[in-house]
Structure 1
Amino acid sequence: MVRVAGPQGEVMSVHRAWWVASAAALVIIGAGACATTAGLLVSPLHHEFGWPHGTISAAASVNLVLYGLTAPFGVAAMDRFGMRRMATAALLLIAAGAGLTTLMSAPWQFVLGWGLLVGTGCGALATTFAALVADRWFAARRGLVAGALTAATVFGQFALLPVFSLLVDFDWRAATGTLVAVALLVAPLAWAVLRDRPSDVGLLPYGASRPEPRDPATSVTRAVRVLPWRSGAFWLLASTFAICGASTNGIMWTHFTPAAHDHGMPAGVASSLLAVIGVVNVLGTIGSGWLTDRLNPRLLLTAYYCLRAGSLALLPGLLGPSAQPALIAFAVVFGLLDVATVPPTIALCRELWGSDGPIVFGWISVAHQLGAGTIALAGGLTRDLTGTYTPLWTAAALLCLTAAALALRIPTIPREPVTVLAAAPQERAEDGLRCCHRSP
């Protein structure tokens, strides 16, 4: 516990879990700042080096795919080597990759720096890291915390975009150099505050009345062993999340700014709209976490994907040289829906796979990024071949409707009948009290 002074001078205790969650949020924001900058670099790199849009998008695609592929192994590595060590190492890897990008002169160097190094570092600190923090440090409010940390991911990805857009207009190398500085500033914070488990500092998880079972020592190979590749539920959930990645990271992060620029909109204005998405996303994702603690996550996913389909279908008619009220309204609605799918997906992973849920979620995140990487590459190729991004928005809307239908088919776990054995009166009374105080 950490003791702080209250408004009347009284001493209040704040559980260490909240400080760990706060530090994790800052780490995630620092890593997230690198995830969307590739969209700002498309035009400057095209103009300076003459690289085709498809070539630049290839590096962004590698980044997105590795962002997903790293996730399940990152969680298992945190099991093996520790959350604090891995988070710090990931931030240093991001700094190295962004630093290399400032010195590049050939496309393969962009793929190596931005695609391989930054993608791997960001993947280790993706939503699976948020799921692990929520799962280990919180017995209560897991959905809320998972939603808040997921919101931190997108806040970092979008909220700083206007600043980076100004830097890119001045010098794109200054923008990537700033990302290096951000990662290097956050790394010491990760080392100082993060701890692997509450038991490491003599505490129980927040809201727990007794220690939770601790998994035996694990290795990175656990990520492969727990992959439920024979489970139909896994493939249904992975399919919905692949579509989630295609309709957010793949098309919005990489191609919204250049698509808006094609319609005469300045890059700074387009980046400001993405920033609106990022800021509103905080409310949407935290609200989704709150709803996940109370409603069926399958129904939530269906509703989110249907609403996202409608918004994407309308977007081509809203793009223009300026940010009209209808386009701002789109940014607000899309921000509420953007990463709202993550808390219910995390909840379903825990419901279906128990303590292996965070690692299974990592594998499902692989599908998310494969979908994102596919659309990121397809978007660049489509722009080179047709001169427009318009077909992508319609395709993304249709994919979201498909995801809504798939979410309804995710099965529930049958509950085994409970056999009540004869017990002493005192034991029966205690059981009754426990039932009365059980969370709904």
Structure 2
Amino acid sequence: MAHHTAFVPRTRRPGVHRAWMTALAAFLTIVAAAAFAAMPGLLTEPLHTEYAWSRTTIAAAASVNMVVYGLVAPFAAALMDRFGVRRVALAALAAVVAGAALTTAMTEAWQLTLYWGLLIGAGAGSLGMTFAATVARHWFVERRGLVIGALTGASAFGQLVFLPALAWVTDHQGWRPALVTLALTAGAVAVLVALVLRDHPADLGQRPYGARDFVPRPRTDRGAARRTAAVLYSAVRTRPFWLLAGTFAVCGATTNGILWTHFVPAARDEGMTVTTAAALVSTVGVFSLVGTVLSGWLTDRWDPRALLALYFAARGVLLAPLPVLLGPDAGAATVTFVVVFGLLDVATVPPTILLCGRIFGADGAIVFGWVNAVHQVGAGAMAVFGGLVRDVTGGYGAVWLVAAALCGFAALLALRLPGAGR
């Protein structure tokens, strides 16, 4: 691939490297977009009460959001290479602001699917893990695993920051003011992106952090969609892609699909208040940030395949006894669950991103985008499954057990992944 840049490299003055400012701006952008992922669990009961929609219908809209989130990600990665990270991020933030505003005025279930499922799903999906991978790839040579861990942890951190406040607003003021709060936050972050975020170090005449030589900005083909589809066509013909996709589908099913979507309703079924349940999910977010940064550090030092197997096996052990742990109060066992689950929640992302890069080379970010799309398909399927089980059986017990079994299967898949050189 040819390279070009219109900038002349210059000697960087002493001080904080611009890569860290860029990473901070990306972190806050992901935080704002991720806050929307906290809402489905809070919206289920208010929408069921106000509109008499079934939980399956509401979960279906959340499922569309998750699937669109995943499907748009690989195209977003290619568009970032073509048009720049900043432009794509601004367009994505505009989409989530519009989706949140329109959701407050909806009257029919199909509008929830359109506004929340499509608009917010597309916007948030453009600012997820492939966004994190692209920023880290452009700006960092050293500490890349650590930065990937921090940026992917920003997703859980966004839910941590907003979830307790959103739960309180929803409980005391209603669900519409909560969505307005999210829309205003995303708008404010858009201003930060316009002012701070830059596409590539070469745009400023700088080297990536840790690079010994100047790295010119790569020239990309104009057909972003065509390139994305071509990468998929090539990747799906390989065994490693399906192993990675299989493990990540289970990851999505057992995090976004069940915990982030159904934990609050399940806890409320057992007599727990929505504020307490939201605080527990928020605690998962606290430790998700710690866990993913730690996982990024470990990924720089250990075999990522072994780490994935360990993470999934431990997650399955945690999920299996959850039906007997939930009750009206948050006891020591429940708190222990959310702390340890939080450490494992997003820990799978750094080793998966690193494996995509090692196995698929320069196309690694786009391949990860497609792997992440399968992650979201798994999440969406489990979200609908959970809602259906609740409507049919009146409880969520079977859902947690199925999730635990899937984690055991994913651990076996991870061990079958091929080795790849650094």
**TM-score scaled by length of structure 2:** 0.95
Q: What letter corresponds to residue 247 of structure 1 in structure 2?
A: T
2:120 maps to 1:110: no
| Greater Cα radius of gyration, structure 1 or 2 | 1
Distance 2:263 2:394 in 1: 14
Q: Which residue of 1 aligns with 2:414?
A: 407
Q: Which residue of 1 aligns with 2:3?
A: none
2:227 maps to 1:222: yes
Distance 1:400 1:295 in 2: 21
Map residues 343-382 of structure 1 onto 2, 5 A cutoff: 343-382=350-389
**Deviation string for 1:325-367 (max 9, x for gaps)?**
1101101000000000000001101110111111110000001
Q: What letter corresponds to residue 167 of structure 1 in structure 2?
A: V
Unaligned runs of 5+ in 1: 2-10, 416-439
Aligned-residue RMSD, C-alpha: 1.7
Q: What letter corresponds to residue 328 of structure 1 in structure 2?
A: V
Query: Residue 200 of structure 1: which of 193, 199, 203 is its match?
Result: 203
**Deviation string for 1:364-417 (max 9, x for gaps)?**
00010000000001111111111111101000000000000000000124x7xx
2:41 maps to 1:39: yes
**1:185: how far off?**
0.6
2:306 maps to 1:299: yes
Sequence identity percentage: 55
SS in 2 for 1:33: helix
SS in 2 for 1:280: helix
**1:222: how far off?**
1.2
Map residues 116-131 of structure 1 onto 2, 5 A cutoff: 116-131=118-133
Q: Which residue of 2 aligns with 1:61?
A: 63
**1:216: how far off?**
3.1
**1:81: how far off?**
1.2
Distance 1:131 1:58 in 2: 29
**1:159: how far off?**
3.1
Distance 2:265 2:236 in 1: 37
Distance 2:215 2:237 in 1: 28
Q: Does the CA-based 8 Å contact 1:159-1:276 persist in structure 2?
A: no
Q: Which residue of 1 aligns with 2:98?
A: 96
SS in 1 for 2:255: helix
Deviating 4+ runs (over 2 angstroms):
211-216
Q: Does the CA-based 8 Å contact 2:45-2:265 persist in structure 1?
A: yes
Distance 2:395 2:161 in 1: 27
Distance 2:161 2:323 in 1: 23
**1:25: how far off?**
0.2
Q: Does the CA-based 8 Å contact 2:164-2:282 persist in structure 1?
A: yes
Q: Which residue of 1 aligns with 2:52?
A: 50
Q: What letter corresponds to residue 322 of structure 1 in structure 2?
A: D
2:175 maps to 1:172: yes
Q: 1:213 to 1:344 in 2, by over 3 A?
A: farther
Distance 1:69 1:158 in 2: 25
Distance 1:337 1:86 in 2: 30
Query: Residue 194 of structure 2: which of 184, 191, 195 is its match?
Result: 191
**Deviation string for 1:399-437 (max 9, x for gaps)?**
000000000000124x7xxxxxxxxxxxxxxxxxxxxxx
2:271 maps to 1:271: no
Q: What letter corresponds to residue 358 of structure 2 in structure 1?
A: E
Query: Residue 21 of structure 2: which of 19, 31, 42 is its match?
Result: 19
2:245 maps to 1:243: no
Distance 2:349 2:159 in 1: 16
SS in 1 for 2:212: coil
SS in 1 for 2:209: coil
Q: Which residue of 1 aligns with 2:295?
A: 288
Q: Which residue of 2 aligns with 1:329?
A: 336
**Deviation string for 1:103-161 (max 9, x for gaps)?**
01110111111111001000000111001111110001110000000111111123311
Q: Which residue of 2 aligns with 1:431?
A: none
**1:183: how far off?**
0.7
Q: What letter corresponds to residue 180 of structure 2 in structure 1?
A: G
Distance 2:137 2:407 in 1: 28
Distance 1:157 1:239 in 2: 26
Q: Which residue of 1 aligns with 2:400?
A: 393
Q: What letter corresponds to residue 93 of structure 2 in structure 1?
A: L
Map residues 304-319 of structure 1 onto 2, 5 A cutoff: 304-319=311-326
SS in 2 for 1:371: helix
Matched length? 409
Unaligned runs of 5+ in 2: 1-8
Q: What letter corresponds to residue 201 of structure 2 in structure 1?
A: P
Distance 1:247 1:181 in 2: 30
Q: What letter corresponds to residue 345 of structure 1 in structure 2?
A: T
SS in 2 for 1:36: helix
Q: What letter corresponds to residue 156 of structure 2 in structure 1?
A: V
Distance 2:118 2:159 in 1: 18
Q: What letter corresponds to residue 76 of structure 2 in structure 1?
A: G
Distance 1:282 1:75 in 2: 23
**1:211: how far off?**
3.2
Distance 1:214 1:229 in 2: 28
Distance 1:354 1:143 in 2: 16
